[in-house]
Chains A and B, each alone.
Chain A
Amino acid sequence: SQTIHQWPATLVQPVGSPLSLECTVEGTSNPNLYWYRQAAGRGLQLLFYSVGIGQISSEVPQNLSASRPQDRQFILSSKKLLLSDSGFYLCAWSGVTNYGYTFGSGTRLTVV
């Protein structure tokens, strides 16, 4: 069966420090991969999605970037964190038919 792993679960980082959040999917190949940010009262905002290795699309301008170095690995990064980057980050995957997404357990990022 397919599983999605996301880590770390919680992260506290100082302003200006780098960020790397990792997400991996098992049990499937060539998944569509997504990074969402969840903010209180604002639902889930799609940040990046990828339909293949090295293919990254950004939905909103921001301080973050994403990379897909392997088929089932999706990384969210920042060179210098801002206070406004604090939030709950969710990774998700779907098949090409988009019959629903499966979400990881999320990373709570606090920038101090």
Chain B
Amino acid sequence: AQSVSQHNHHVILSEAASLELGCNYSYGGTVNLFWYVQYPGQHLQLLLKYFSGDPLVKGIKGFEAEFIKSKFSFNLRKPSVQWSDTAEYFCAVTAKTTDSWGKLQFGAGTQVVVTP
């Protein structure tokens, strides 16, 4: 069964620092990849997604992610974080089976705290 691993459970950094969150998945076939974000008190929302094409995907609020197929990775990055980026970030993967797409599987999440 496919699995999704997020390497850091908790990250604390200062404003203007760069952020990189790791995500690896275990499925070897065709995948769709997602990063979701949950700001404090808000519901889960899509940050960015990769289906095909350019492996460098740009999302909302200055975030980007790079799909590296050989490493089964989809790391999330932001060059300079702001206090408002404090949130929990979830990597998610859905894998293609013979005739359909599987359910969305989530990583455990990374709590990011940005200090002023």
Chain B associates with chain A: yes
B51 interface residue, CB < 8 Å from A?
yes
Residues of A within 8 A of B43 (CB): 90, 103-106
Number of residue pairs across A and B with beta carbons under 8 Å? 55
Residues of A within 8 A of B103 (CB): 34, 46, 49, 59, 98
Inter-chain CA distance A31–B9, complex, in Å, is 32
Q: Which B residues between 97 and 113 are near A, CB-CB below 8 angstroms?
A: 100-109
Residues of B within 8 A of A102 (CB): 46
Q: Which among A11-19, A22-30, A36-44, A74-82 touches the partner chain?
A: A36-44
B45 interface residue, CB < 8 Å from A?
yes
Contact, CB under 8 Å: A43 / B107: yes
Report A70-112 CB contacts with B as 1/0, cut-off 8 Å.
Answer: 0000000000000000000010101011111111111000000
Residues of A within 8 A of B9 (CB): 41
Inter-chain CA distance A59–B2, complex, in Å, is 14
Give the number of chain B interface residues (Cβ < 8 Å): 25
Q: Please judge, given known A-B contacts A41-B109, A43-B109, A44-B90, whether A100 and B101 are in contact too, CB under 8 Å.
A: no
B89 to chain A minimum Cβ distance, whole angstroms, is 11
Contact, CB under 8 Å: A101 / B104: yes
Report A47-68 CB contacts with B as 1/0, cut-off 8 Å.
Answer: 0010000000001000000000
- Given A100-B46, A105-B43, 15 extra CB contacts under 8 A: A41-B109, A43-B6, A44-B109, A45-B106, A46-B103, A97-B101, A98-B32, A98-B94, A99-B51, A100-B34, A101-B104, A103-B36, A103-B43, A103-B44, A103-B45
Residues in chain B within 8 A of chain A (CB atoms): 4, 6, 9, 32, 34, 36, 43-46, 49, 51, 90, 92, 94, 100-109
